[in-house]
Structure 1
């Protein structure tokens, strides 16, 4: 018996469903791994991604992030963008 795919409420969204994501970087441009709610965030739109980073940039900086780069799937959209004034 074949079961239908699980509804989206029971599985994480696929990269195709949420293609926008931020690469978090230190001052040398090396990727920084963040933990907890900051880790692995993906977004359905560029606007959602930009709103999120605007809300949490201080938390990211506390985790050692100096800059972020926005991607749509594997395409770099822009960045690195500094989190410092």
Structure 2
């Protein structure tokens, strides 16, 4: 299994993808640490993928 994040605008347009992670735990830990940098880079929300299968999302990076 390979885990990646799709980076999206608030409109849902894909604007990038993360590096590949070996586990879901690694991917989720990474996004928890990197969300501030992602926001600064213009990413509004993310989706988690296991290979080509979407696991969940969109998940907003903005505070509620």
Q: Tell me the TM-score range normalised by the shorter chain.
A: over 0.9
User: TM (normalized to structure 2)?
Assistant: 0.92
CA RMSD of aligned residues (A): 1.2
Q: Does the 8 A contact of 2:47 with 2:57 survive in 1?
A: yes
By percentage of residues, which structure has more strand?
A: 2
Unaligned segments of structure 2, at least 5 residues: none
Distance 1:58 1:75 in 2: 26
Structure 1 runs, 4 residues or longer, greater than 3 Å off: none
Aligned residue pairs total: 63
User: TM (normalized to structure 1)?
Assistant: 0.70
Task: Look up the match of 1:72.
Answer: 50
SS at match of 1:42: coil
Residues 46, 82 of structure 1: CA spacing in aligned structure 2 closer, same or farther, 3 A cutoff? Answer: same
Q: Does the 8 A contact of 2:6 with 2:18 survive in 1?
A: no
Question: Which residue of the other structure, out of 14, 24, 36, is the alignment partner of 1:31?
Answer: 14
